[in-house]
A and B are shown apart, each in its own frame.
Chain A
Amino acid sequence: MQRSLLCAFFATTLALAPMAQGAEDAAIKTKLEPCLSCHGENGVSTLDGVPSLAGEPDLFLEWQLVFFRTGRVKSEIMQPLAAALSDDDVRAIGAYFTTLAPLKSPPPPDDAPELTAAGRQLATAQHCGNCHGDGFQGNQAAARLAGQREEVLLKALHDYKSGARVGTGVAAMPEIAFPLDDEQMRALAHFMSRQR
């Protein structure tokens, strides 16, 4: 319950100016090429360690780009790319990827059903849905977890636990990740990656 209220306060007021989708796409296409080359032509990543962006909430994407641009989150690959982005670019990129269809094809046969079961229980106990949505599809500054690459989710949890990543100002994720052990983080990552 505490986290649902935390989540309410992720609801920022920065409503973006309405986009004429076709015109905006054309303008942003050149900026997107380096993104698509790693994150996938349709925003669904097939590369180990590279997150899918399709269907991520707009604000979440904007925040990650700003974090990379300011160096608050360290990434040798993303930092120089983000440094070249203006605020308009950040907003346009967020607006673009959020409209792409997230991964919908069913997950492969479950090679660790006990992890999935444990992850489901943990997700309920930790109230992940309060901020990330009932279906973990994301909301405002809280990421879409459903269908995200498993190793990306696992690294994120480790980074929040270690403080390599802090998230937006309210500090919810470090608080949540801190008491999790390796087994619990593996279970959550495995479960979330299999949601659609």
Chain B
Amino acid sequence: MTDKLRLAGIAAATLLALMAGASAQQQLKHYDSNNMNFWTHPPADWFLGDETQQQKGLTPQANPPTPATLAQLEENLKKIKMAPGFKISVYAANVPEARQMAWGDKGTLFVGSWFDAGNVYAITDVNGKKVTHTILSKFRVPTGVAFHDGALYVADVDKIFKYDNAEASLDKMPEPKVVYDDMPPYIPHGWKYLAFDKKGMLYVAFGPPCNECLAPTSTMQVRRINPANGTAEIIALGIRNSVGGDIDPRTGDYWFSENARDWISDNLPSDKLEHVGRGVPHFGYLYCHEGDLPDPTYAMGHKCSEFVPPVYKLGAHVAPLGMKFYTGTQFPAEFKDAIFLAEHGSWNRHKYSGGRIVAIIVDADGKNPKQQVIASGFIQGDRTFLGRPADVINAPDGSILVADDWAGAIYRISYGK
């Protein structure tokens, strides 16, 4: 134990020395990310390719090798601060690297996962207890799941799969049909999130395979895809890494969260909440960030005024991921049609930000946004994760569920009861 504290102390002291500028100038890692070789054969640390002296040393943390135990989760949740009246509890433990969630018609909760596992899970109720089944495996990064008309949809990096009659087949899932694969093959920022609208169209974002680069034209966009026949339309351009979006029940418009670029600074640029209104909006990437910050290298003569600004600046490095418009009646009336959003928490910031569930109350046309923090404390201290929220979903009883891909668990946030 003393060794660990001492090493942590050494690491912390070194970090402080770096921040004080006391260290000698070090070689900065630089990758040229404007070429096909980088996109198809990214180095293992591709996200470090634009590092700066000021932020050198910041790097993503590796998830724990196994999910947290129920006992550990309950300890962790004691440290989570909730907005007045809201409570948080464990819905299901042992859901490794839990990412997007989707309800089946019969109450099955399907859950996608992050790297390493490559699994898709189904959580069912067995004699009052939640049981997690691994129903599919051997994907690369099956973060995105959705359910529509009896079928489970799973999005891997470059394919969307459809499994018919999924809930009746949990023990032996059918062979999937590939409903869409006109998709770029690049893994960096290639992990997907799925949103259905009432007509059965799928909304999917495609991110650039880099931090900041003149990425392939098949990326940096949101498409509306018809899984029935594989046709698609581009509905938004100029986006970077979006892993969360939902249809506004008031208008049918698509809204989404977006992670802005790294390696400018701890406080710039802000991550964003966007609204796709009329036309095919261009939200600025790679030329302009957060609506008002021209890229230091890639502005390429553009002015930020040419692009559509975000509805709301969520904060730098909060890492917004899954989001849903609240459709229940359990929460106070002010939260009707509010956006509940999972913040994954930083990697490219000396003191991590995010690691919360927030609610953004905003008009249907994007005006008057107001944010309230619903749950905070998944980040403790400067850089310690108790968990990392990755998605939210409305539950039938009016509560919401939260997926945590760090602790490998699903939580339930309720109000009142």
Give CA–CA (A139, B59) in the complex, Å.
17
Report whether A2 and B26 are in contact in the complex, using a CB–CB cutoff of 8 Å.
yes
Number of chain B residues whose Cβ lies closer than 8 Å to a Cβ of chain A: 45
Given A140-B4, A174-B44, is A9 in contact with B67 using a C-beta cutoff of 8 Å?
Answer: no
Tell me the chain A residues, 37-71 only, with Cβ under 8 Å from chain B. 59, 62-63, 65-66, 70
Q: Which residues of B contact A6 (CB under 8 A)?
A: 57, 59
B368 within 8 A of A: no
Q: Does B115 contact A (CB under 8 A)?
A: yes
Residues from chain A with Cβ under 8 Å of B385 in the complex: 12-13
Residue numbers in B under 8 Å from A133 (CB-CB): 3, 7
B387-405 vs A, CB cutoff 8 Å, 1 = contact: the mask equals 0000000000000000000
Bound complex: CA A72 to CA B4 (Å): 28
Which secondary structure dominates chain B's binding surface? loop
Per-residue CB proximity of A4-30 to B under 8 Å, as 1/0?
A: 111111111111110000000000000
A2 touching B4, Cβ below 8 Å: no
Closest Cβ of chain B: how far from A32's Cβ, in Å? 18
Of A110-118, A163-171, A188-196, the one contacting chain B is: A163-171
0/1 string, A152-196, CB within 8 A of B gives 1: 000000000000001011110011000000000000000000000
User: Is B65's CB under 8 angstroms from A63's CB?
Assistant: yes
Question: A70 and B116: CB pair below 8 A?
Answer: yes
Contact check, A14 vs B62: say whether CB atoms are below 8 A apart: no
Other-chain residue from A87, A166, A169 in contact with B66 (beta carbon distance below 8 A): A87
Interface size class of A (residues with CB under 8 A): 35 or more
Is A91 in contact with chain B by the CB < 8 A criterion? yes
- Is A14 a contact of B64 with CB atoms below 8 Å? yes
**Pairwise interchain contact A13-B384, C-beta atoms closer than 8 A:** yes
A: residues with CB less than 8 A from B are 1-2, 4-17, 59, 62-63, 65-66, 70, 72, 87-88, 90-91, 130, 133, 137, 139-141, 166, 168-171, 174-175
Question: Given known contacts A9-B59, A87-B67, A133-B3, what 17 new A-B pairs fall within 8 Å (CB)?
Answer: A2-B26, A4-B11, A6-B59, A8-B383, A9-B60, A9-B383, A11-B384, A12-B64, A12-B385, A14-B64, A14-B68, A17-B69, A59-B64, A65-B65, A87-B94, A130-B14, A170-B62
